[in-house]
Structure 1
Amino acid sequence: MYHVKNTIKSQGFDALQIQKLVKNDALEILSISLEKGAIFPEHTSPTDANLIMLEGAIVFHINGEDYSMEAMEHLSFAKEEKHWVEAFKDSKFLIVR
């Protein structure tokens, strides 16, 4: 049986929100929302990952570089690289790893 879920659509903009959409042995997908001005603090990913912007505008900080991103843009990054994210607008993005 299939179920359509509205987890991403209903996820609010209240500071930093993280929802696990999928988790199995091969794949993890996280839905992340950041309120304008909020910061996702410095952290690392346990595996190589992809950030897929859905809406808003962020700056992705990694290895001393800043990457401005908006809706419908994509960025790949390596595991265990320290990074952090700052929202310039209410923003939603997916992390696929």
Structure 2
Amino acid sequence: MKIQPGQRAVLLGQYIIENKATVRNAAKAFGVSKSTVHKDVSERLRKEDPALFTQVRGILELNKQERHIRGGMATKQKYRELAQCRQSSGNSCGRR
């Protein structure tokens, strides 16, 4: 059974609020693309439930502000693991 786009937008909005989820996390949970999630919560949700839209927009703005920090932390972790691997096994870590 396929969910109507308006209903899906509301469900996505509720999921994002309850889990403080990113667009990517919501897309994975619902089995749809990131662009579908973005369209649902930025266009369809505004028409379906304006109050919910306002809450979701706040969370997405916060995610957008924190995005560069999360990216930096991921890079830092990557190179930390690479350095540990090289110390323990030689110079062949991270290469395919």
TM range (shorter): under 0.3
Bigger relative contact order, structure 1 or 2 (CA pairs below 8 A, ≥6 apart)? 1
Structure with larger Rg: 2
Bigger helix fraction: 2
